[in-house]
Every structure is written in C-alpha cells, then in structure tokens.
C-alpha cells in the first residue's frame, strides 16, 4: 500500500506554542520518511528559510481583513487540489475554518484543539465552523488532558501532548530581570497582572512576547521603564534567562500551557494562575495564585527570600521530560494518522 499523504495546516511557522509544536511534529514525521506537507496561512515577519518543497506559505498577514482571507483560502484550495492529500490536520481556528469550507472529497480531516476556550471573541463564526466540521465527521485531537469533550463537536478527542525539550544551547544571559512573563500579549494571558504586581513590589520584570496588547502596555508603563522591559517575541527565551528567574503565568485559561511545560522542564521556578487548565500540572499549592493581590504577595516573598520555594520537584520535571519527548509524541501522531497501518 502506498504512503498516506498528510497535510498539516497551521496559522504560521512561528508565533506560539501551537505553531512550534506542529512544526516539530511535522519535521519529525518527515525525518521518519512519511509523505507530509505543511501549509502556513500567515506569513510572519521573522520567517525562517524552511524546506520549500514541503512547506507552502500563503500570502496573508496576521490580522488581515476579509478580502485577504478569501484570497488565502482560494490559494489554499488550489494547493489542496495540487497536493491531493489523504488526510488534512487543522491546527487552531483559522485552519479549522479553511478545512470546514474546503471542497468535498475523500480527504479525511483531523482538527486539533489547542485551547480550552476556542474561538474566543468570535463565537458565532466558531459555531458555524464547528457545526460544518461535525457534519464532515471530523476527528479531534486535544493537547489538554482536562478537555474531555470538544466544544460543539460533541466528540471525545484523542489526547496528544505537545512536544517539549530541555534547552541545550549555552548562551550568555541577556535578560537580567528576575521576574519574567512569557506569552502572547492578549487579554486571556493577563500580562498586566504580572506587570502590575512587579511594579507594586518594585521588582524589575521582563516581558517576552508580542500581541494585540503590546502598544497599550507600552503606553501604560512609560513611567515605569526602569522596572518593565519589553523584549518582544523570542524564539528560545530559555537560553537567555538566569536560572533564578521566576516565571509568572497569570493566564485566565490555557490549552496545553506550553510555556509552563518548557519552564518546568528547564528547571525554572514558576507560579501559575489557579485554574483547571494549569492545576493539572500538579505543582505544590504555594505555586498557584487566584488574584492579582495574591501574586503581589508571592513577588514580595521572592523579593525578601528568593525563588527557592517555587522550584519544581525533580520527579515532576522527569515526568514531563518523558511525556513530552518528541519521539513519544510523534509515535502517538503516527497511530492517530494510521501511518503504520498504511505502510504495512
């Protein structure tokens, strides 16, 4: 039997945990000899020179209007007709939308739920997309083990964690701040909680990431430039942090919480918002906070006593390292994609 042709559809080649994880699995599947291609809908400003015969970049920019989105969809359909995949894997909402409206054929669709709050701010469009996907008998994968049912999908998803590995690059410490926020600057990530708490305790904070709140946060903190340093998006922040830096993750909700996973695997002390998505990491109760005021109390303690109380137990670090190993994750993907069966 011939190889199954697989097509990954992602938002972009860079941007967040979903994009990075999908790209890692894509490269690993290719290294194993699988027939897999990837379409990235958006072009990022820091685009890398990827494998051109396997990766297709559509001509759409982040936050493009409806006209550019329609043009990108038409380009997607054109490439779909050319590639003729047996299976399409849609990572996140925009790829879901494109796959929901792609021409009907024998192509099977798998959609990957990367967040516990899908289609946030665009629920009406999300309802339409999910209903269509349901009628197309889409299969679901989730990266969040607490996600037992897919929103409007009424389906029990297969759990496949995102891969993560310990940083092995020895780089000089570029980021001197001892309090660090890493993530997209969006309402759901609540970066202002970390910034406000650090300012209140007079502790310098480094903010790593980009997003829709960037300019607003820059403007609001003009008077605190000595305490708040914005670094923008960084591909591998772990290589540039001191091991005594405290990672603060105030997210209102998460999907896989990949920043937390990578922080723990790399041995950084960390504190997390107290919600179902982040409680599942099983850290000691003192590593969680429910309010901005509780976070302020944690940072004050760090200022007085250091970060040793917020380090992760070694047993949890080893558990996550094994669970997130790229080989383990890719094996599960091969099973879901039925690649072993296709190659018998």
Per-residue pLDDT of the chain (344 residues; tens, 9 = 90+): 358 999 999 998 877 788 889 999 999 999 999 999 999 999 765 555 556 679 999 988 877 788 999 999 999 999 999 999 999 999 999 999 999 999 877 789 999 998 888 998 899 999 999 999 999 999 999 998 777 788 886 678 999 999 998 988 777 778 999 999 999 999 999 999 999 999 999 999 999 999 899 999 999 999 999 999 999 988 889 999 999 999 999 999 988 889 999 999 999 999 999 998 899 899 999 999 999 999 999 999 999 999 999 999 999 999 999 999 999 999 999 999 988 655 44
**What pLDDT, on a 0 to 100 scale, did the predictor assign at position 154?**
64
The answer to whether the CB of 152 falls within 8 A of the CB of 127 is yes
The answer to whether the CB of 230 falls within 8 A of the CB of 260 is no
**What pLDDT, on a 0 to 100 scale, did the predictor assign at position 3?**
80
Chain region(s) in the chain for CATH 3.40.50.2000: 6-163+325-342, 179-322
What architecture is domain 6-163+325-342?
Answer: 3-Layer(aba) Sandwich (3.40)
C-alpha distances (whole Å) from 294 to each of 143, 158, 272, 288, 297 are 29, 36, 11, 9, 5
Asked: is 179-322 a CATH 3.40.50.2000 domain? The reply is yes
Q: How many of the other CB atoms lie within 10 Å of CB of 64?
A: 16
**What pLDDT, on a 0 to 100 scale, did the predictor assign at position 193?**
98
The answer to whether the CB of 249 falls within 8 A of the CB of 271 is yes
**pTM to 2 decimals?**
0.86
**What pLDDT, on a 0 to 100 scale, did the predictor assign at position 53?**
74
């Amino acid at each position: 039997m011939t190889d199954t042709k697989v097509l990954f559809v992602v938002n972009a080649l860079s941007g967040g945990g979903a994009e990075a994880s999908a790209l890692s699995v894509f490269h690993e599947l290719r290294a194993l000899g699988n027939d897999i291609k990837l379409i990235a809908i958006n072009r990022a400003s820091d685009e890398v020179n990827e494998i051109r015969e396997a990766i297709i970049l559509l001509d759409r920019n982040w936050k493009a209007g409806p006209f550019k989105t329609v043009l990108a969809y038409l380009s997607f359909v054109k490439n779909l007709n050319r590639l003729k995949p047996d299976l399409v894997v849609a990572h996140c909402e925009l790829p879901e939308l494109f796959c929901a409206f792609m021409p009907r054929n024998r192509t099977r669709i798998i959609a990957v739920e990367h967040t516990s709050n899908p289609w946030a701010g665009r629920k009406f469009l999300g309802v339409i997309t999910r209903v269509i996907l349901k009628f197309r008998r889409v299969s679901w994968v989730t990266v969040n083990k607490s996600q037992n049912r897919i929103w409007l999908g009424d389906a029990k998803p297969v759990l496949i964690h995102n891969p993560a590995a310990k940083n092995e690059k020895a780089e000089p410490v570029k980021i001197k701040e001892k309090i660090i926020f890493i993530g997209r600057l969006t309402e759901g990530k609540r970066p202002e909680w970390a910034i406000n708490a650090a300012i209140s305790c007079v502790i310098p904070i480094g903010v790593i990431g980009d997003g829709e709140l960037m300019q607003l946060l820059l403007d609001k903190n003009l008077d605190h430039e000595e305490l708040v340093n914005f670094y923008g998006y960084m591909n591998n922040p772990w290589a540039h942090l001191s091991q005594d830096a405290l990672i603060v993750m105030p997210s209102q909700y998460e999907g896989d919480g990949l920043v937390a996973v990578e922080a723990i695997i790399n041995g950084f002390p960390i504190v997390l918002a107290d919600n179902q998505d982040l409680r599942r990491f099983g850290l000691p109760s003192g590593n969680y906070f429910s309010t901005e005021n509780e976070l302020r109390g944690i940072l004050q303690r760090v200022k007085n006593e250091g970060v040793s109380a917020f380090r992760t137990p070694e047993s949890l670090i080893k558990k996550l390292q094994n669970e997130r190993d790229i080989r383990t994750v890719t094996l599960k993907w091969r099973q879901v994609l039925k690649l072993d069966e296709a190659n018998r």
